[in-house]
Amino acid sequence: MSYHWNWGIFWEMSPEATGTYLDMLLSGLRWTIATALLAWLVALIFGSIVGVMRTLPGRIVGMLASAYVEFFRNIPLLVQLFLWYFVLPELLPKAAGMWLKQLPNAPFWTGAIGVGLYMSARIAEQLRAGIKSLPRGQAMAGMALGLTPFQTYRYVLLPMAYRIIMPPLTSEALNTVKNTSVALTIGLMELTARARAMQEFSFQVFEAFTAATILYLLLNAVVVFGMRRLEKSIAVPGYIAGK
């Protein structure tokens, strides 16, 4: 195969006339970062709530949390995004469905929330494992001090559980960044979508995806660095993340 390499393609004007091909990729990177940040926030909030529910003694609460986890972790992310973007507006009342369809940057909001909910099921299970790994005496000590169940989780169990699961949370943060690429299927022009557009316009497929790969590596290196610094700063000696 004879392939004509052209690394200068990044400084050529793109057909969109909004900048160079490099500007196109950087625009996609910005959407990737924004989507990943919102998705990670959604994943942490919902994952924490469901993870705590999975450890409560109430049977109904536990069943609801289990159903949530099984739903989101057993359906492929691509299918979930299609459901939220194409199917949900048709199932809602007409006014609500039209509002969703006409929502500005609808692919961004759908992609970020969809990825966040998908990742929240994984975080919920990790948080449950972190809480269950703590000695039973910690919860009992909190109750003995007169703390309510909410206060026991807030001040005793969750601070320790999050420290224990910090290493797997780093992996989940990286997975969140990578999973944003699936959102190109619903029209979000994130980094992978921009790389595809570049190779379709210029036919320089290797250059486009080499640049996207490098940008993903740099972005994930920043995530790993930040999470490792956080992990070391909150590590508890004697536990998984401890020194």
Q: Which of 25, 79, 51 is nearest to 191 (CA)?
A: 25
pLDDT in the model for residue 178: 95
For residue 52, what are the contacts with CB-CB under 8 A and spacing of at least 6?
Answer: 127, 131, 153, 158
pLDDT reported for residue 75: 94
Q: Give CA–CA dist 16/49, Å, rounded.
A: 44
pLDDT at residue 239, rounded to an integer: 63
C-alpha of 149 from chain center: 29
Distance CA 18, CA 30 (A): 15
- Which stretches of the chain score pLDDT less than 50? none
User: Exposed, middle or buried: residue 239 (CB in 10 Å: 0-12, 13-18, 19+)?
Assistant: middle
Integer Cα distance of 62 and 56 in angstroms: 7
The answer to whether 164 and 128 are in contact (CB under 8 A) is no
**Side chain identity at residue 81, one-letter code:** L
Q: How far apart are CA 27 and CA 176, in angstroms?
A: 19
Write out pLDDT tens, residues 114-170.
999 999 999 999 999 999 988 888 888 888 888 888 899 999 899 999 998 998 999
pLDDT score of 6: 84
pLDDT attached to residue 231: 87
- Residue 144 · residue 190 · CB < 8 Å: no
| The pLDDT value given to residue 191 | 95
Q: What single-letter DSSP state applies at residue 56?
A: S
CB of 169 closer than 8 Å to CB of 123: yes
pLDDT of residue 24: 93
